[in-house]
Amino acid sequence: MTSPITTTRQGDVLIITSDNPPVNALGAAVRQGIQAGIQEAAGDDSIKAVVITCAGKTFFAGADITEFGKPMQEPSLPVLVDEIEALDKPVIAAVHGTALGGGCEVALASHYRIAVPSAKFGLPEVKLGILPGAGGTQRMPRVAGVEVALEMATKGDPISASQAQAAGLVDRLATEGNLVADAVAFGQEVIGKPVSRSSERPVTVDATVFEKFRAANAKRFRGMDAPNTIVDLIEQTAGKPYAEGVQAERMGFMKLIMGTQSAALRHIFFAERKAAKIDGIAEDIALRDIKRVGVIGAGTMGGGISMNFLTAGVPVTIVEMAQEALDRGTGVIRKNYEATAAKGRMTAEQVEGAMGLLTPTLDFDALGECDLIIEAVYENMDVKKDIFGKLDKIAKPGAILASNTSYLNIDEIAAATSRPQDVLGLHFFSPANVMKLLEIVRGAKTADDVLATAMAVSKKIRKVAVIAGVCYGFIGNRMLMPRQVEANKMLLEGATPEQIDKVHVAFGMPMGPFQMADLAGVDIGWHRDPNRIENIRDALAAEGRWGQKKSAGFYDYDEKRTPSNSPRVAELIAEWREKLNVPAHEITEEEIVVRPLYTMVNEGALILAEKMAQRASDIDVVWVYGYGWPPYRGGPMFWADTEGLKKIVEGLEKYGFEVAPLLREKAEKGEKFNK
Ligand code: T1G
């Protein structure tokens, strides 16, 4: 097998080039090739300097994650980076694309770093539940300072080449498209000068930095092993010799990589990428061309959906029934963009650029120019069927017709047209311009190229998309229902909203079911008849307790929206308990985990058996990207696998739930949902 590494000479400079698509992952062959290149340089006096660079779209994007858990092939990355740094001839890392994880560590071990302005540097290991394990926690503080090292290693977000230069991580910026030549010239300039080894540099730090950093990020790092381990490690090794520091780094790395959290986060990394693959459809299927998008409805969802396309540079025609609603909707879009610009995440030109692509209109026929039309009006089947009937008459042949419904039957909507093959669901999550998840709902007659085009569009607008079948609530909302039902039942049986929410938050959710209801609005989905009170939620809605927006819902809220337990809600629950004659009992934490969460897993098993989801990992992606399931628990199906399906079955039976056949079968066979 040919090595992904080649070496070439330009005068007395040796160029080591990696060509290991798609992202130059530092797999065994790459490491062995680089090591051979360094040894070649060490052994040849005519070589005075070395440039390490990569072909393809990016510099090394890190260790090869697919090698984790497999027997290590020498040299390991820690050994290789130390060999690079030990060379007594200048080594220049020439960076384009994203120098991530082990790739950033190769750059740190090199004596100099040159990068094109579009390059990025990052230590994303923490997003895989591990830490930079090839010297990154020791060299980054020495090169860029402790603050930058803490930010980069604990949050995992990349920094730009100019930020890296400002931090001392990049020595020089190259001209775009001229990287290698500029790197060779840089190499020739430093030949003969003493090489600067970053591991020999001192770490200067004010010890209070760590306490301040912990305090500032306590909420963000809650429940996560890796970021807290990284802060401790950098603190404990600051001022220690490099050799001692990397030993502690190795220990920390091995402890984390063996942990469940890292297994969960690596599962989500690959699950997110697998979700984009549609079983039974060829990856090279011809896609439909989407040049202009139409959005029906300029409300919260319509506006958010439009922003995704405007931000991606796709022109949008947005339609409303009344001028006032149209103006309100386009006004909100501009306000949102200006808020983003005020935070420095967009320029004023970019705001005008996006708004310039928006065509607001009251003329429904204007949608005739669009290649993809997304209906985002309120949830009413007759209204949606009426709209799709009208769309069928004016939309151009081959246009994709999508509904943003959260629950309703896509096949029934498609049947309102003469072109059901062009109809599917595109279920965005609120706020649609922020939430990453997109459920692509495959109708019974949806054409393969329509589905594949929708998947490609989701990538263009930077969404994480999952294919769902037509069933009530699709994947996410369908699994949310048993959780809500059990949470409401436990209120009647003696638990308080706070008690239930606390267990969910301790589990790692950003909030519990009742805090979520108050945020989203207790009146969402309410029938609006204050005289028809069939449950606690109706009673709250009828009293105007619609949640945070009314400073009262399942909790009372002060002007700062700080929640407090509500005596009125406790009273209401007690009234309903009596009215429905529900015996109260002491509700344990175990019960609050089993009933809402095990029933979700059970519903997930039904969804898989009915083929409403392609694979268990898709369900995990839905919950992590759409419903705040903690990524370090890998999603409900992965979590069930770690709990053990036998335990899940026993828990469900203990509380009298009917166990899904697929779940029982897998438990009996000792199998898992995620292979
Ligand atoms: N190892 C193996 N495969 C990888 C990979 C990696 N590091 N990165 C990407 N892939 C695969 C990915 O699964 C997909 O495969 C294809 O490449 C394209 O990826 C000691 C131990 C670089 C920003 O965490 O963030 O170094 O689905 O679809 O959108 O400290 O990939 O086509 O079969 O994501 O253009 C640290 C992970 C590793 C970076 C490109 N590095 N990668 O995004 O393409 S740990 C990371 C990314 C480490 C050391 C430790 C992104 C990207 P398939 P893609 P993209």
Inform me whether the pLDDT recorded for 530 exceeds 90: no
In degrees and rounded to multiples of 5, residue 433 shows phi and psi of -85, -5
Alpha carbons 574 and 582: distance in angstroms, whole number: 10
Alpha carbons 401 and 418: distance in angstroms, whole number: 12
| Residues above pLDDT 90, as percent of the chain | 96
Output the pLDDT for position 42. Answer: 98
Mean pLDDT of the residues in the chain:
97
Q: Which atom of ligand 1 is nearest to the CA of 123?
A: 36
Reported as a pLDDT band with limits 50, 70 and 90, residue 531 is confident
Q: Which of 105, 151, 235, 486 is catalytic?
A: 105
Q: Give me the mean pLDDT over the 555-569 stretch.
A: 95
Inform me whether the pLDDT recorded for 1 exceeds 80: no
Alpha carbons 336 and 434: distance in angstroms, whole number: 11
Please say if 105 is a catalytic residue. Answer: yes
528 or 456: which leads in pLDDT: 456
Output the pLDDT for position 120. Answer: 98
Q: Give me the mean pLDDT over the 85-90 stretch.
A: 98
The pLDDT tens digits for 93-121 are 999 999 999 999 999 999 999 999 999 99
What pTM was estimated for this model as a whole? 0.95
Q: Give me the mean pLDDT over the 440-448 stretch.
A: 98
Inform me whether the pLDDT recorded for 204 exceeds 90: no
Residues 436/625, Cβ–Cβ less than 8 Å? yes
Tokens 């529900």 sit on residue: 582
Measured in Å, residue 101 CA sits from the centre of ligand 1 at 10
Residue 528, SS3?
coil
Output the pLDDT for position 37. Answer: 98
Q: Give me the mean pLDDT over the 79-94 stretch.
A: 98
Inform me whether the pLDDT recorded for 198 exceeds 80: yes
Output the pLDDT for position 529. Answer: 87
Measured in Å, residue 64 CA sits from the centre of ligand 1 at 8
> What residues line ligand 1, using a CB cutoff of 6 Å?
22-23, 25, 61-66, 77, 98, 100-102, 105, 124-125, 128, 132-134, 136, 273
Alpha carbons 401 and 256: distance in angstroms, whole number: 46
Reported as a pLDDT band with limits 50, 70 and 90, residue 614 is very high
Choice among 122-126, 171-175, 204-208, 211-215 with the minimum mean pLDDT: 204-208
